[in-house]
Amino acid sequence: MKYELVIGNKNYSSWSMRPWVWMRHHNLVFDTHCVALYAPTTKQEIAQYGCGTTVPILIDGDIRVWDSLAILEYLSEQHPQCIGWPEETAARAHARAVSAEMHSGFSALRSSLPMNCRRTIEGFELSEAVQRDIDRVRSLFADCRHRYFNYGSWLFGQYSIADAMFTPVVMRFKTYGVKLEGEPGKYMQTVCEQAAVREWIEDSCKEQEIIEKC
Ligand SMILES: N[C@@H](CCC(=O)N[C@@H](CS)C(=O)NCC(=O)O)C(=O)O
């Protein structure tokens, strides 16, 4: 049976981007349903799926999964060939830790630099709190690339859930002109050049909705 993925506007919905890109990267077959965010009908539209109150939502027959990380975990269990987490124990623990940190942290970065794939902003002023979050992301990227450099160009060498988790952050950095030097910068480039990411950005440029606060 074909998966269905319920997402928000591609231009703005950072959480939706994670499973969509991961599924496209792995050529999983799915239909996408888009809910316009920050609209009077948003809550009602999401409620019709009968599970969570936010997007993304994955529908697999009678099964509903309504959180980006939970969706990625679920899909990687259903498709072991897609490799969700690295095989080796230490790398696996590390990948889980950075992904969980991304999922639950970086609140300054999230609130001050909302994702907006279509835009590039010159001279954006970063607060101290945002700069601290950026420095932390940079050090996570640097550490991963240092340790797993020999295994490939993704955070843990081979593409994993951790990369999907950090993809929207890379989009935010791109929009707000946050440049990273060295290996973290090369990693950003790897993400931006990923076919699924390019496709997401192209689609986001075709959307008409404008959300002022982003
Ligand atoms: N923890 C959730 C967060 C999802 C989330 O906050 N989604 C936003 C869109 S990016 C949403 O659905 N907002 C609609 C609303 O709150 O009404 C996940 O990772 O999936």
25-72 per-position pLDDT tens digit: 999 999 999 999 999 999 999 999 999 999 999 999 999 999 999 999
Residues 104 and 24 grouped into a single domain: no
- Closest-lying ligand 1 atom to the alpha carbon of residue 56: 20
Query: Does the beta carbon of 68 sit less than 6 angstroms from any atom of ligand 1?
Result: yes
Average pLDDT over residues 113-141: 96
| 210 located within any domain | no
| 213 located within any domain | no
pLDDT > 70 in the chain, percent? 100
Residues 94 and 181 grouped into a single domain: yes
Beta bridge pairs of residue 160: none
Kindly tell me if the per-residue pLDDT of 211 is higher than 90: no
Alpha carbon nearest to ligand 1 atom 2, residue: 67
Could you say which of 26, 52, 82 is where a domain stops?
82
Query: Does the beta carbon of 13 sit less than 6 angstroms from any atom of ligand 1?
Result: yes
| 63 located within any domain | yes
Kindly tell me if the per-residue pLDDT of 214 is higher than 80: no
Residues 99 and 163 grouped into a single domain: yes
- Closest-lying ligand 1 atom to the alpha carbon of residue 54: 12
Average pLDDT over residues 4-22: 98
Alpha carbon nearest to ligand 1 atom 17, residue: 43
Helix pair angle (89-104, 128-148), 10° resolution: 160
Residues 97 and 173 grouped into a single domain: yes
Structural domain containing residue 38: 3-82
Query: Does the beta carbon of 100 sit less than 6 angstroms from any atom of ligand 1?
Result: no
What DSSP string describes the chain?
A: --EEEEE--TTT-HHHHHHHHHHHHTT--EEEEE--TTSTTHHHHHHTTSS-SSS-EEEETTEEE-SHHHHHHHHHHH-GGG-SS-SSHHHHHHHHHHHHHHHH--HHHHHHS---TT---TTPPPPHHHHHHHHHHHHHHHHHHHHHGGG-SBTBBB--HHHHHHHHHHHHHHHTT----HHHHHHHHHHHH-HHHHHHHHHHHH-----TT-
pLDDT at 77: 97
Kindly tell me if the per-residue pLDDT of 213 is higher than 80: no
